[in-house]
A and B are shown apart, each in its own frame.
Chain A
Amino acid sequence: MSEAKSAGTRLTGSEILWATLEGEGVREVFGYPGGAILPAYDALRKFPVRHILVRHEQGAVHMADGYARASGKVGVAIATSGPGATNMVTGLATAMMDSIPVLCITGQVSSKVLGSDAFQEIDITGITLPVTKHNYLVTRAEDIAPVIREALLIAQSGRPGPVLVDITKDAQQATATYDFAAAAPRPYRPHPMLRAETDSVLKAAELIRSAKRPIIFAGHGMIQSGAREQVRALAERLQIPVASTLLGLGGFPASHPLSLGMMGMHGEAWVNHAIQQSDLLIACGMRFDDRVTGSLATYAPNAKKIHIEIDPAEINKNVKVDVALIGDLAQVLEALLPHLAPRSGGESPWLREVNAMKGECAVRDIQNLPDNGHLYAAHVMNDLWHATNGKAIVVTDVGQHQMWEAQYYKHEDPRTLITSGGLGTMGFALPAAVGAKVACPDREVWVIAGDGGFQMTAAELSTIAQENLDLNIAIVNNGYLGMVRQWQEFFYDKNYESSPILSPDYVKLADAHGIPGATVRTRAEVKAAVSAARECKGPFLINFLVEKEDSVYPMIAAGSALHEMIRRPGNNPLIETAEDA
């Protein structure tokens, strides 16, 4: 089809769709056919685009999402009209909340019957208004190429986000002249409210120089902008410790001496204490989400705040800041760094104090735990971290296991933790891991899901089997909707209403898909099972039967200040000491 690109041939709308995607570098899509998108599917065989057939359209969008998070490229999902499109809404909202570049293509009934409640007709552009960066309804074949090209540009530019393109059946079938170059979008218009003038930069530099107790916040924006080296330079030049949001984990290497770890509701205690003691927060690509701040009234009471952020709408949204540098993080830091001379002298008193906090507040010492037969999820995470040398791509679902993973798997590199943060979508892990593996076929990819979340999208096991993807699937199985149970324990008087959940025998379920597996009941069995999964050339599932009523600590209750953390009660077998694992 490549000769068509230059010739300006007459092609059908469907062919134009794939030719444009091919021209834009798209080589994989995740989708599910149906009546209104059938013409597009019929044209697919003429193009070098791999189609992965899913089992639910929600899975298709999560796969495109995981693909984008792992690779940094736009992930593409395709589905039919009506229920196919509505099934994508959760996936779009997930991508929207975490600013992930995803393109969803949906079929639509013929433009002649639009608005007549035709079979499988739905106003998907209306439904997805709040959960997409932008969306389009395409009714003519000649609009397909420019719309697709513009949609891809919008998805990736500025603050990334999902874009939906709804294409009527008659547009797919009609013919038009295809000219890839002529369909080029107008150049991306940066947000008119970007602002990082010299005097703001100078003011920020002044604040940084005079701060005695500064902390850098490394958020998702650091990974999206590729600003790792700049943040590192800032941290090292002035010896400033770095705290991370959930989505920022891996942006700044966990093993770096200045790395503090995750902040917020389930962040480690010393990180939150440090924030409350701080006199300057340098927020890099994060949005002061409520999971991170605790009660806003008492948040970092003594700290000035510098906010480096690409989306002007986030400035002063939750937290009033002193200096806002609105632009791309890497670029802003490049402008800021020349104004900051390296700090001389040894370890600053602040750094000494922060490191001492690490010792006092304690880290769980996994190695010192008695092996009393109980398998704790924390064990699973820590052992997995050791076994993979912290180098795997880990895709988590949502819940307690997600928090334990964030606490115990130390991510060194960006794009190695793939997790639904803003929307907290259960069922995200299994499909997102498919996307990540397709994006990075040579990398080791682990799925970590709770028994609740896994069941939500378990049907994608068939996709994994059909595509024979080498995925290691770990189910952290405690027989409960764990995070719900934890909240019911802490705040609803242990009224475990509808939180106990029955699971199938996951190893049998995997076997039914032709996927090998193992059940792990004790600490001693973990290592062997993990090795078996890693050695297996193809998918492998491990069912970890963990302690049923364990809770994630520390925890900041709703309405509490960041330093008012609930800690693990003293007489619990999970002993906390100062030694790191």
Chain B
Amino acid sequence: MIFCILSCSKSQLDKANTDPTKANGADFDPNGLLASAQINYANTGYYQLVYHSTMMQVLASTYYYYNNGDKYINVANFTDYQGAIFTQSYGETSAIRQMQTLCRQRDSTRYNNLIGIGDIMFVLIMQRITDMYGDCPYSQADMAQQGVKYPAYDRQQDIYNRMLIDLDYAVTRLDPSQPKPSADLFYNGDIIKWKKLAYSLMLRIAMRLTKVDPATAQIWAEKAAAGGTFAGISDNAIVQTDASNSKSQNAISVALRTLTDYEQVRWSKTLIDFLRKTHDPRLSVIGEIPSSGLKNNGNESLSGNPDSSLQRGMPNGYDLLGGATDISKSPGYPGGTGTGADLAPLGKYSRPRTSIYLKLGGPIFILTYAETELLLAEAAVRGWNAGGSAQEHYVNGVTGALQSLNQQDSQTFISQNDINNYLNANPLDMSSQNNALQMINTQYWVATGTNFNFIENWFNWRRSGYPLLTPVIYPGNVTNGTIPRRMIYLSTEILTNPDNYKAAVARLPGGDALTSRVWWDIDK
């Protein structure tokens, strides 16, 4: 009873109900939340592998899990994978909004740049959500603390308008003379680079509207070009992951280092054939043929042969089941390596080079100079004021893409001479607008694909229609043999936000399906 008498005071009970292992808002540095949102935004891991990498025929796989994207059939945790970006992204926007709240509670002036960067991050994340699913909460997102329990799904058109306006406001707010953010994984607090990122993002948002609303696209693309987008690959927004920390390792590398993934994920025939056809110098750096035999195929310490003449892509849409769709029945199947029990049926196909793409602390590309310049090239092709000619931007874009491989890993250095030769052999075809757009957007596909940014790769394909991909026809596919055009909403929304979810689905032509099209993705 002595315990009782001694500890009955209110303050002691308050203390008992205070978690000693955590900080309260007053003691916590909001900067850490920026880094948190950045690494989470970057590290999409398996989700983009099982769907977007193979859907876009950048990678190909016979492995069961990849059937979701490689063959458009529902397998394994497809419900989770489809909803993952929804879950993950709103977690990131929540961190951003919380960061801004803490900044305002402390000192809006001192944290002015961090608040502005927060707005840019918010738009960056939101664009991924809306491009992935369509209508989604924006104006009422992350307002639980304000009492919003059932956030309304905004129409994508409204979200696009809001994103552009919010970005425009955010960029004007940034001030290099004010304190910099201290935990910035993109630019280590460089405000000038953040401004360029904001305009580059504005350009990407604007260009996403080319199908549905070219007029608006032009206004904002020109505004972005005038504001100043990325000027070189040193402006690329990249997150360097950390091999020594299991929570901040490169999740794509971790996934691809799983035995079955390692043995059965290859570069797609579509990509490798394109690189070979254009004598692309990237062919000699991105791929390798594994050492012979199944055991060696699974040995991650044995590097393969990167000789460009040997590289061969694997066709999408095949399996190892021994039936009609077995990889051995594919046209031009080169045979496996090894014999008997050690037969590696995929042994002659190129895999992403382990030493470059599978580093546990490898980089993750967020938004690059190459992408921006290629979008500007397209804007110029469309006759808009992109601050330079289409050819100039195209050259910059391709150069940036080839140079960025050096940021992927220092081994993947491509000399300026090789770049020049490649550009001279493949000048921008201005004979028609379509030809130019095809060439630019195919380069966008190669650039984002070889940077392992498969989500953006897919978004731009849906917008531009390039490259022209032949869908895989595999029995049991759930898309009538077409490449998916959106992801299905997070499955729990039907219970946790039922009315708003149902209203959004009702607005979607075709319903909440992989084949439905979001607002900007009109069929033309």
Physical interaction between A and B? no
Residues on B lying within 8 angstroms of A by beta carbon are none
